[in-house]
Amino acid sequence: MEYPQLSDSARVSEDMTALASLERDAELMIRVREGDETSFALLLNRHRGPVVHFLCRMVQNQGVAEELAQEVFLRVYKARATYEPTAKFTTWLFRIATHLALNWLRDRKAERAQDSIDETSGDGPVRELPDRSGTIEQKLVRDARLGEIRAAIEALPGKQRAAVLMHKYEEMEYVQIAGVLGCSESAVKSLLFRAYETLRARLAHLV
Amino acid sequence: MRCPIKVGNEAELLVAYTTGTMTPAEQESFELHMSECAECRELAGAQKSVWGALDLWKLPPVSDEFDRKLHARIAEEARLPWWKRQWDTLSHPGFWLSWKPAIPVGVACAALVGAFLLHGPMHVPMTHNVAPAAAPAVQSQQDAQKMDVNEVERALDDMDMLKQLDAPASAPARAPEGS
């Protein structure tokens, strides 16, 4: 009997924290609208990491991801005068990020189709967190696994990729992902389940 | 519990199971089912493996230059002339997409105005307005035709008269020949 009660109270606590966080974002953005630069710095500090990491996994290039993330925050700053807290701030933020990433992937695909010679040129692969533990053999195995994970994610269609990354790494709920992608909750579920099915086929042997 | 694969909701259950978002009762029920169903057990194992594999993908922190570059771009943006900033806003697809819900209404209004101009009451008086304006012209044309006919008739009459004037002079001249 105690377990569900603890679980419920923990959930309520989590919900309250999430709600407070949402209200805080909207409040900060309203202050930015009123010309408070410190609030923009606070928003940047709070969301910089998740946005850059999401974009990094989307485009698989650290440099490009950071440039796109700068564009995201620049757009947020430029739109401050007309900001209305009608949707969650993070939904809006990730909608801009996803839009930019999908556009970049589309342009990249067109470029690759036009000129396959440039495919391996100075694009710079995504940097992974260096792990200095273990032997060289373990490191090689780990690198191979990471390569497979990245390849499997890269092989997913753009929207499926975005849905999986938001679900897995940003821990977003279906309804919020639907808000970001501009589709219904059932469409998000369909995207996610197809993506996980593909990933199961490719990655199930890894762990 | 019925087999989720047969029900067709296995994908949702598998995700909920691996993300830990099932209620304790749902989880208990699903685990009990998996103990008897090899197919579901295998699927759940594969989904957990994927979940674990994705956890391996760690990324480095954001570079220290990020904020400096962003603020440089913001400053650069602020230096642009007002018309350039406005143009950037207007030329951005997002600006026009934000009006997307109003587009069908606008198109419907334009179609209504077009239909009203073509077939509405404004169109009918235009034909009536043309008739009075054209009437004098038609009348004058008819008058001109009448005048022409009169003149021709008069000319024919004049010719007859001239013939009659000539006739008495020539008739007596011929009479003595017949006699």
Q: What is the 3-state secondary structure (H, E, C) of A177-189?
A: HHHHHCCCHHHHH
Q: Is residue A169 part of a domain?
A: yes
**DSSP labels, A43-99:** HHHHHHHHHHHHHHHHHS-HHHHHHHHHHHHHHHHHTGGG--TTS-HHHHHHHHHHH
* Cα–Cα nearest to B30, from B49, B5, B50, B55: B5
Give dist(CA A172, CA A178) in Å, integer. Answer: 10
For residue A150, being part of any structural domain is answered with yes
Q: How many CB atoms lie within 10 A of CB A160?
A: 20
Residue with tokens 């994970």: A149
A18 plus A57 within the same structural domain: yes
Element (H, E) at B120: none
**Radius of gyration of chain A from Cα atoms?**
19
Please check the confidence at residue A198 and state whether its pLDDT lies above 70.
yes
Chain B contact for A44 (CB, 8 A cutoff) = yes
pLDDT > 50? residue A49: yes
Are residue A108 and residue A62 in the same domain, yes or no? Answer: yes
User: With 0-12 CB in 10 A as exposed, 13-18 as middle and 19+ as buried, what is A180?
Assistant: buried
Across the range A200-204, mean pLDDT stands at 86
CB contact under 8 A, B62 and A66: yes
The CATH number linked to A24 is 1.10.1740.10
Question: Higher model confidence: residue A110 or residue A16?
Answer: A110
Note whether A110 and A14 are same-domain residues: yes
Of A155 and A132, the structure prediction assigns the larger pLDDT to: A155
Choosing from A114, A141, A164, the residue where a domain stops is A114
Does A102 reach chain B within 8 Å, measured CB to CB? Answer: no
Distance CA A202, CA A152 (A): 7
Judged against a pLDDT cut of 60, whether residue A119 lies above it is answered with no
Structure tokens at B34: 């998996």
Give yes or no for B47 touching A (CB within 8 A).
yes
CB contact under 8 A, A49 and B62: yes
Q: Do A56 and B51 touch (CB under 8 A)?
A: no
A80 located within any domain: yes
- Contact between A129 and B60 using a beta-carbon 8 Å cutoff: yes
- Confirm if A162 and A181 have CB atoms less than 8 A apart: yes
- What are the domain boundaries of chain B? 4-55
Asked if B39 contacts B10 with a C-beta cutoff of 8 angstroms, the reply is: no
Could A207 and B52 be called an inter-chain contact, meaning their C-beta atoms sit closer than 8 Å?
A: yes
Distance of residue A16 Cα from the nearest chain B Cα, in angstroms: 18
CB atoms A168 and B51 under 8 Å:
yes
pLDDT range class, residue A122, cuts 50, 70, 90: very low
Reported as type and span, the H/E element at residue A176 is helix A174-181
Residue A120 lies in a domain: no
Q: Residue A79: inside a domain, yes or no? A: yes
Domain that includes residue A86, residue range: 1-114
CA distance A180 to chain B (A): 15
- Domain membership flag for residue A41: yes
Q: Is residue A38 part of a domain?
A: yes
Predicted complex ipTM exceeds 0.85: no
Asked if the Cβ–Cβ distance from B49 to A168 is below 8 Å, we say: no
A57 and A144 share one domain = no
> Do the beta carbons of residue A57 and residue A94 sit within 8 Å?
no
Distance from CA of A70 to the nearest CA of B (A): 5
Q: Tell me: do A67 and A107 sit in the same domain.
A: yes
* Closest approach of A121 to chain B, Cα-based (Å): 22
55-94 of B, contacting A, C-beta below 8 A: 56-63, 66-67, 69-70, 73-74, 77, 89
End position of a domain, from candidates A83, A114, A145: A114
For the segment A138-187, what is each residue's pLDDT rounded down to a tens digit?
Answer: 888 888 888 999 999 999 999 999 999 999 999 999 999 999 999 999 99
Q: What is the pLDDT of residues A83-92, one digit of tens each?
A: 888 888 999 9
A30 and A97 fall within a common domain: yes
Residues B162-172 pLDDT 10s: 777 665 544 44
Gap between the Cα atoms of B110 and A85, Å rounded = 33
Q: Per the domain annotation, does A127 fall within a domain?
A: no
Report the length, in residues, of chain A. Answer: 207
pLDDT of A17 over the 70 cut: no
Count structural domains, chain A.
Answer: 2
